[in-house]
Amino acid sequence: MYSLGSTLYAAIEGEPPFGLTENTLGLLHAVAAGKINPPQRSGALTPVLVALLAREPEDRPTAARTREMLAAVAAARTPTCPPPRSSCRSTRATSTPGWSPGPPS
């Protein structure tokens, strides 16, 4: 699910979830910390991307749940984030209407 989220993020946002940088150490730190750049262009797909890119694997939706979330977006409905065990939201703030980040971890 993480790979799907990363691929969708890159296709929509035009760069990988952790950004583009020549600072390899900084990039590795962001990846290890699970700090994705908040999606800016993904609209209704924002909660889907954030859920798929959750740092903890148990916080990511299943394939079936992901299919439901994507179907909701395709039907112009607002997808709901699956109940997280820790947090299914990015640790960074976002400006996407209708979505609010969880508390920093």
Domains in the chain: boundaries: 2-74
pLDDT in tens, 10-28: 999 999 998 888 888 888 8
Please, which contacts does 21-30 make with residues 24 or more away whose CB atoms are closer than 8 Å? none
The pLDDT-based confidence of 83 (bands split at 50, 70, 90) is low
Classify 2-74 by CATH class.
mainly alpha
Q: Is the pTM of this model over 0.95?
A: no
pLDDT over 70 percentage in the chain: 77
Instruction: Quickly count: other Cβ atoms within 10 Å of residue 38's Cβ.
Output: 21
